[in-house]
Amino acid sequence: MTEVQRWEYHSVHLVATGLLRDKGWRLWQINEQEQQDWKKSAIYASVNEFCNQMGQQGWELVDVAYPGETVTFAILHFKRSLQ
């Protein structure tokens, strides 16, 4: 019998910190849990920078959404193989 590939999933919400050229991104929620002191957390220059950091931890981006009319909030879904 072949073993079925198993995954773990991670949902991340990022919030834009500024407008236009000064925009950065802060980590607001992980798996629907608001992060303590998120307004004081590290600022990522871009969503790509955040995704690259997640990739270094073995996470693969599988979906991204920018809900609303402006790009001030991003929801990212990642997966990685269960060990």
Whichever domain contains 66, its CATH number is 3.30.1410
Instruction: Give tens-digit pLDDT for 56-78.
Output: 999 999 999 988 777 788 999 99
pLDDT of residue 21: 59
38: in domain: yes
64: number of Cβ within 10 Å: 14
The tally of domains found in the chain comes to 1
Q: Which domain holds residue 33?
A: 7-81
- The winner for highest mean pLDDT among 3-7, 11-15, 67-71 is 11-15
pLDDT of residue 3: 84
Beta strands in 1-83 (DSSP E): 7-16, 25-30, 33-34, 43-44, 60-65, 73-81
2: in domain: no
1: in domain: no
Mean pLDDT of the region 29-46: 91
16: in domain: yes
